Amino acid sequence: MTPSEAGRIVFVTGGARSGKSTFAERRAAQSGPGVTYLATAQAFDDEMTDRIARHRADRPAGWVTHEEPLAVPAALRAVTTPAALLDCLSLWVSNLMLAGHTDEAVLDAADDLLRAARERGGVTVLVTNEVGFGIVPDNALARRYRDLLGWVNQRAAAASDEAHLIVSGLPLRLK
């Protein structure tokens, strides 16, 4: 890791299966040896259990994996490797909502996460889904999620040093 990577935030967004995680993994690996992968997914069904297992198997052997669905800012503060890769903000926001957090509490947690990333001695790569391109959801919970994730994404993008939109496997650098 170079000194210029200290406290650096890299924001990576895109749709489902857009290639954002692959791009984020490559970007994290550029920071040198030592990546901690912070996973926010929880397995509530067989398909998600299989998906998590595939993701674990695909990660490089030297990477540290820490699975944390809720206390992500604290988990990030505990990372000592040059790079931290958080995959993903989208599931984290969903987890917080389902745990009963208010919108204000979720936004406060996002601000705390961004502070933790800025205070780190290394780069933090944040992966998220871009859910605002679709139709207006037909129920209040889905609309709340779309809006709340949109606000979290705006904060993360504004705080980032780099921002990338991934479409069909192709990265577009936004900043």
DSSP conformational letter for 135: P
Q: CATH number of the domain that 109 lies in?
A: 3.40.50.300
Whether 55 is catalytic = yes
pLDDT in tens, the chain (175 residues): 455 788 999 999 999 999 999 999 999 999 878 999 999 987 677 776 677 667 767 777 889 999 999 999 999 999 999 999 999 999 999 999 999 999 999 999 999 999 999 999 999 999 999 998 888 999 999 999 999 999 999 999 999 999 999 999 999 999 9
pLDDT at 49: 65
Q: Pairing between strand 170-173 and 162-167?
A: antiparallel
**Which stretches of the chain are assigned E, i.e. beta strand?**
9-14, 35-39, 64-67, 83-87, 123-129, 162-167, 170-173
Interior CA angle at 149 toward 165 and 120, to 5°?
Answer: 70
9, 114 Cβ separation under 8 angstroms: yes
The residue from 55, 66, 101, 164 that is catalytic is 55
Backbone angles phi, psi at 4, to 5 degrees: -70, -15
Structurally, the chain folds into a number of domains equal to 1
Count CB neighbours of 22 within 10 A: 14
Residue 161's domain comprises 3-173
pLDDT at 60: 77
**pTM to 2 decimal places:** 0.92
107, 96 Cβ separation under 8 angstroms: no
